[in-house]
Amino acid sequence: MPIDKLEAEIDRIINADHSDPFSVLGMHKEQQGRAEKLVVRAFLPQARKVGVVDAATGQVVADLPQIREQGFFAGPIAGRQQAFRYRFRLLPYGSEDTYDIEDPYRFGPVLGELDIHLLVEGTHLRAFEKLGAHIATIDGVEGTTFALWAPNARKASVIGDFNGWDGRRHPMRCRFECGVWEIFLPGVRAGEIYKYELKDRFGNRLAEKADPFALEAENPPKTGSVVPDPNEYEWQDSAWMRTRGHKNDRDAPVSIYEVHLGSWKRNPDEGNRYLTYRELADDLVPYVKDLGFTHVELMPVHEYPFDGSWGYQPVGLFAPTRRYGKPADLKYFIDVCHREGLGVLIDWVAGHFPTDAHGLVYFDGTHLYEHSDPRMGKHMDWDTLIFNYGRREVSNFLLSNALYWMEEFHVDGLRVDAVASMLYLDYSRKEGEWIPNMFGGRENLEAIDFIKRMNELVYGHHEGVMTVAEESTAWPMVSRPTYLGGLGFHYKWNMGWMNDTLRYMCKEPVHRRYHHNLLTFGLLYAFTENFILPISHDEVVHGKGSLLSKMPGDAWQKFANLRCYFAFMWTMSGKKLLFMGCEFGQGNEWNHNTSLDWHLLQFPLQQGVQSLVRDLNNLYRSQPALYQTDSAGEGFQWIDCHDSDNSIISYVRLARNPEDLVVIVCNFTPVVRKAYRLGVPKDGPYAELLNTDAACYAGSGVGNAGRVDAEAHEAHGRPFSLVLDLPPLGALILKPLTPIAIEPPAVVEATDVLQAETSQQQDQTEGTNGDAATDPAR
């Protein structure tokens, strides 16, 4: 290399401004006249003397002169013409003791040709195994590989304690064909903290960046990435993994307990600290199992900087949050859930990310992960940025992340957050604040393709899992297969049902007769999707109050309303989801900074609600009529949906075998209805399987002594009927004790219910939910 060019290259190395440091540093053959010579160059500002050691003999074969006072050493290797394995022997400043280090610039590329091809194509579904930091042994040397996608950066370096956070020390090689910067750093071990230092194309140094593919991260508010532990977790959930498909399907009982790990319970004896993943495995898992839930849904557990976002503004999608422990600890928690028969879903946030400087924003000096135009790239309501789904590398980043959680953590499902915000270009935007798609429409075509592809890959690679859409609009076929034109989700949250029924329950009983349609309207669309009925965290926060506080009346009436509502929810078509604290009637609104109010369980009313939820789950799981046909119209029949004067509804739920059924009647007033005649399919005795007003639930004890006989007296278009005492603000679940033959005539079908009311309820999403209230698709 000509001396003038070499001097310029050395300047760029010293100034941390070189995009190809491997062309300068390390061992190189150079032509000197007609002969070739070996030269070695190194930038080691921590050393005052540097020797080259032959790795085979351990002998110093050359001392490198310092040619720049900043710490640049270079010199020939006398008598050598062929490259050989070597290391450096350093004499540092302030010491007379030497030590040996490996030279990172003697090692070859990290990425293979196939990796590069797949990354460019956007089809590297295991990108998490190549990008990021990974312990490796190369040429017999232990260390860590680092790889970072930043195609528009002028320079990228790894920084950490191992190099004094000096961005000049370890500049990376750029694989220009795919825009990935890479390096192997010998001696860097698991647990080391690191970040990336980048310069934009104009040479401006950017904020230090966390690794987008980091598998571990520091505990917030620290923002560093952590070299992951390479030891594999030894799973013990093989029995669950073989059979989980039957437990997640549409014809299975699915009752989900939604939990925020940081506020479910705290340790007051140690400064009100979080419980760890392992402590939660010992405490939360048996609690959920005892209550009869089938699944746990974890609010986001990927790393996020702001506690108040609850995880919905992530910066480390591959790194489980360090708040509760290490990745192996989360795997242990999930493993214990599976061994105890509980499925695990996680909230997956692929719709947006925050503007924290160490995150994805303006990553390499350009709008790399987000759109550059805020009309497409920014949620003004949330001050977050929107992923550019049309960019292959970005969609591949997210797709590989979805598969990562399934594969590495054995999660059973992804609940995809804020799907409506992904589907619509005009989501929560005024006219002129959004850009139409190529056809002039408001649909985000790239996001739609991404969602479909995500679902296809998840189901194609991991048998028996589920994906769930939190989708608050009337977008069609959300939970239908992509080959039929659907988005491909397994389930969709029924936000319309939730909004309507909570609006109804907030009414004083004396006024409910005028809002009866809020209970029944949902059956007009109940079978258009595979629905989950959600009472989630969104309904008990931001000034909305707790679920209990929404109920009218005095304390007894509030709890009676809540019990009746739960029975209605558990017997309606659709899978179930309940947020933590609702199961025992917590009075305070949820606060992510404190534990649930567990002390309330000393009181009978709270004990009663908790006991009812336990019994509802057990009944739900034991009665196929309550779950087998959740997504099929033949599994539901109205008995009477018109008794608005008494605020009573009644209906039949049927299993695939129509001989197997249960009858439900709900009284939403505090008035005891004596001798209420209810039409039923057949003669014979009926068992009162559950009464929400029973004394064991802290109710008043009004009921039917556990059994009632049908009479040959026509009612509600059916040949037989029961004469019941309906409890105040109570629900009854009854089951015939003899085989049932379903008679076809005089059945009020769901689609015949409210033709006159349709004009009153044009939109199923009307209500109190924040997303639905501002959704432009309404």
Structure tokens given for 163: 């190099």
Q: Are 291 and 583 in contact (CB under 8 A)?
A: yes
Which of 298, 277, 405, 312 lies closest to 346, judged by CA? 298
3-state secondary structure of 677: strand
Q: What is the dihedral of CA 295, 301, 306, 309, to 10 degrees?
A: -30
Supply angle C-alpha 387, 146, 24, rounded to 5.
115
Numbers of helices and strands, H then E, in the chain: 16, 38
DSSP 358-412: TTTTTTTSS-SSB-SSHHHHEETTTTEE-B-TTSHHHHHHHHHHHHHHHHHH---
Residues 746, 417: Cα–Cα separation, whole Å: 42
Please state, as a whole number, how many other Cβ atoms lie within 10 Å of the Cβ of residue 97. 7
Residues 553, 559: Cα–Cα separation, whole Å: 9
The DSSP letter of residue 590 is P
Q: What are the residues whose beta carbons fall under 8 Å from the beta carbon of 89, sequence distance 6 or more?
A: 50, 51, 52, 53, 60, 98, 99, 100
Supply angle C-alpha 233, 459, 427, rounded to 5.
105
Please state, as a whole number, how many other Cβ atoms lie within 10 Å of the Cβ of residue 737. 12
Q: What are the residues whose beta carbons fall under 8 Å from the beta carbon of 504, sequence distance 6 or more?
A: 512, 515, 518, 519, 668
* Residue position matching structure tokens 């104009």: 202
Residues 319, 214: Cα–Cα separation, whole Å: 6
User: Angle at which helices 555-571 and 604-622 pack, to 10 degrees?
Assistant: 10
Residues 181, 167: Cα–Cα separation, whole Å: 14
Q: Are 110 and 180 in contact (CB under 8 A)?
A: no
Residues 268, 301: Cα–Cα separation, whole Å: 22
Q: How far is the first Cα of the chain from the last one, in angstroms, to the nearest whole number?
A: 67
Please list, residue by residue across 533-542, b when 16 or more beta carbons sit within 10 angstroms of its beta carbon and e when fewer do: bbbbbbbbbe
Residue in 218, 412, 417, 693 annotated catalytic: 417
- Residue 770 φ/ψ, nearest 5 degrees: -60, -45
Tell me the Cα Rg of the chain.
32
- Residue 775 φ/ψ, nearest 5 degrees: -75, 125
Residues 357, 368: Cα–Cα separation, whole Å: 14
Q: Are 157 and 172 in contact (CB under 8 A)?
A: yes
Residue in 347, 364, 470, 500 annotated catalytic: 470
Q: Is 766 a catalytic residue?
A: no
Q: Are 384 and 373 in contact (CB under 8 A)?
A: no
Q: Is 470 a catalytic residue?
A: yes
The DSSP letter of residue 110 is S
- Residue 496 φ/ψ, nearest 5 degrees: -65, -45
Supply angle C-alpha 367, 371, 377, rounded to 5.
125
Query: Where in the sequence numbering do the catalytic residues fall?
Result: 417, 470
